[in-house]
Structure 1
Amino acid sequence: MGVLKVDNLTKDYGNNKGVFDVSFEIEEGEVFGFLGPNGAGKTTTIRHILGFSKPKKGNVSVLGINSWDKPEVIQKELGYLPGEITFPGDMTGTAFIKMIANMREMTNMSRAEELIEIFELDPSGDLKRMSKGMKQKIGIVCAFMHSPKILILDEPTSGLDPLMQSKFISLIASEKANGKTILMSSHIFEEVEKTCDRIAIIKRGRIIETIDSSKLKHGKQKFFKIEFESEDHCERFSKEELKFISINIDKKQVNINVQDEEINELIQILSRYKIKYLKEIKHTLEDYFMHFYGGEEYDK
């Protein structure tokens, strides 16, 4: 049984807004990516996992406990970073971190101090005067400092600069190595691709595909760009029985799709032509995502 289970979750707000028959399961020690644009249903799903919202249909459980029935129990095991953090305006960052620690009945602040150092954070200033990036760092400290078994992270690197984003990715790798279970909702492809074991793509409130990251990185399909020495060679090559994605005789270039087991055959065919260069084109998570979302306005 998974550590976190979403089973046919439906919450219909009308006008095709909400989530519909969303199902997935996250195993212990797994980093699960939840990828989609704003308004696709990521945060709505997370609110149900945390027990903040009651499903219209379906069930959500954490560690075998129903999220809506016993939210106070499951939240003791969770670390949560919301997508939009709202802080009290009359507190310093240090006071806020201490307040959250007291709410969690923490007596050892060594992990919090370690995270403050990692993210080069000075929390002593007034929260209302802090930048978005500074507030995000405080949110990260509060989510991770009690070493929870499960982490729910909604747009975790929003507002962070590239260096801090890199440190966050390293933190996720460290937490995974320690057996933590992580759900990370994001629309940043590189972040998801670098950290997640599996990735669910959500569109208009429905999960349309779940991807195994290892298969994405080591897929059997290869894509090659080839440029020939002459238009004649390019034109003759274009008549070969291969899977052409595009052909441009004027530029003497073709793009082809080849399965792993067809690579040797491709090399034999190419040996009959004079080529200028051969380049493998790596397909990324963004390419895969655009297969489902291409040509649409993301925020609709």
Structure 2
Amino acid sequence: MPLIEIKNLTKDYGEGKGIFDINLSIEKGEVFGYVGINGAGKTTTIRHMMGFIKPESGSAAINKLDCWKDSSEIKKIVGYVPGEIAFPDAPTGTEFLKRQAELLGLKSMSFAETIISKLQLDPSANLKRMSKGMKQKTAIVAALMADPDILILDEPTTGLDPLMRSEFIAILKEEKKRGKTIFMTSHMFEEVEQTCDKVAFIKDGKIIAVKPTDEIKHHEEKVYQIEFTSHEDYLRFLSEEFEFANKEESKNQVTLNVHDRQINALFKALKRYHIKSITEIKYTLEKYFKSLY
């Protein structure tokens, strides 16, 4: 049985807003990405998973616990970073994290200190006056400090600079190695590509595709950019029966769309030409996302 299972989950806010008949299964130890534009239904799904919202129909379960009926138990086993951070009244980040530790029954802050160090967080700062990035780091520490086996992260790198985003990805990869189950939304396609085993795409509250990230990266449709040594070879190549996506005569350069089954034919044809360079333009998660939308 999947560790996280969402079945026919529906919440209709009217006027096409909400989520409709969502079905997702996340296995233990899997890192699962959830991608869609703003308003697509990502946060609504996560709020159901955390037990903040009662579904109109369908269900969400984590570790065989019903997310609505057993929401208090869910919160004990899940580390959660919300999409919108609103801290309780505490004078400093340190005080807030201490209160969290007490609620979680933590006897040691050693793991929290490790995350604080990696994220270069100064938790002694006034909680209300922290920058968005500092608040985000504090929320990440609060989610990870109890070393939970399940992480639910709603846009966890919002507000982080590129260096800290890279550090957070390194933390996620380490958590993945340790067998954690992670469900995360993100606007950063590279982030999802680097960390997630599988991705679900949501549009207008409905799942439109679920794909392993490896399958997306190794797409059967390839794109090659070829530059010829001479203008004569460039012109001669234009008579070949390939799909030309772009032609740049001034550079003696063409861009081709090539299906996997055509690759041998392409390289066989190229033996008859003098090639200056050939580059494969990698298919990305972002390209796949745009093709769906």
Counterpart in the other structure of 1:80:
80
Corresponding position: 1:212 with 2:188:
no
Q: CA deviation at 1:25?
A: 0.6
SS in 2 for 1:280: strand
Partners in 1 of 2:171 and 2:251 — Cα distance? 46
> Is the 1:6–1:60 contact (alpha carbons within 8 Å) kept by the matching residues of 2?
yes
Separation in 1, partners of 2:188, 2:135: 19
Shift of 1:27: 0.4
> Is the Cα contact below 8 Å between 1:92 and 1:126 reproduced in 2?
yes
Deviating more after overlay: 119-128 vs 137-146: 119-128
C-alpha RMSD over aligned residues: 1.7
Structure 1 unmatched runs, 5+: 294-300
Q: Which secondary structure state, in structure 2, belongs to the residue aligned with residue 38 of structure 1? A: coil
Structure 1 segment 278-289 matched on structure 2, within 5 A = 278-289=278-289
2:171 maps to what in 1?
A: 171
For structure 2, the residue ranges without an aligned partner over 5 or more in a row are none
Distance across 2 between alignment mates of 1:29 and 1:281: 31
**In structure 2, C-alpha distance between the alignment counterparts of 1:70 and 1:135, rounded to whole Å:** 29
Amino acid at match of 1:34: Y
Match of 2:61, SS state, is strand
Task: Spell out the pairing of 1:199-238 with structure 2 (5 A cutoff).
Answer: 199-230=199-230, 232-238=232-238
Distance 1:275 1:102 in 2: 66
Q: Matches of 2:272 and 2:125 in 1, distance apart?
A: 69
- Whether 2:105 is the aligned partner of 1:105: answer yes
CA contact (8 A) 2:226 2:275 kept: yes
Contact 1:34 1:201 (C-alpha < 8 Å) held by counterparts: yes
> How many correspondences in the alignment?
293
Note the 1:112-123 alignment, pairs <5 A: 112-123=112-123
Deviation of 1:222 (Å): 2.2
Matches within 5 A, 1:1-300: 1-230=1-230, 232-249=232-249, 252-293=252-293
CA distance in 2 between partners of 1:253 and 1:122 (Å): 52
- 1 CA distance for matches of 2:225 and 2:134? 44
Question: Which secondary structure does the structure 1 equivalent of 2:199 belong to?
Answer: strand
**Residue 234 of structure 1, CA deviation:** 3.3
Q: Which amino acid aligns with 1:5?
A: E
CA distance in 2, matches of 1:250, 1:272: 21
Aligned partners of 1:247 and 1:254 also within 8 Å = yes
Contact persistence 1:59–1:66 (CA under 8 A): yes
**Deviation of 1:134 (Å):** 0.9
Inter-partner Cα distance in structure 2 for 1:208 and 1:249: 40
CA contact (8 A) 1:88 1:127 kept: no
Distance 1:157 1:138 in 2: 12
Shift, 1:31, TM fit: 0.4
Question: Quick one: percent identity of the two aligned structures?
Answer: 52
Aligned counterparts of 1:231 and 1:17: Cα–Cα separation in 2: 55
Q: Secondary structure at the match of 2:156?
A: coil
Tell me the amino acid that sits aligned with residue 119 of structure 2: F
**Matched residue SS, 2:2:** coil
Instruction: State the secondary structure of the residue aligned to 2:51.
Output: coil
CA distance in 2, matches of 1:252, 1:117: 51
SS at match of 1:175: helix
User: Once structures 1 and 2 are overlaid, which stretch shifts more, 68-77 or 210-219?
Assistant: 210-219
CA distance in 2, matches of 1:292, 1:114: 40
Deviation of 1:273 (Å): 2.7
Question: TM-score if structure 1 supplies the norm length?
Answer: 0.92
- 1:248 deviates by 4.7
Aligned-pair CA distance for 1:257: 2.2
C-alpha contact (below 8 Å) 2:247/2:254 kept by paired residues? yes
Q: TM-score, normalised by structure 2?
A: 0.94
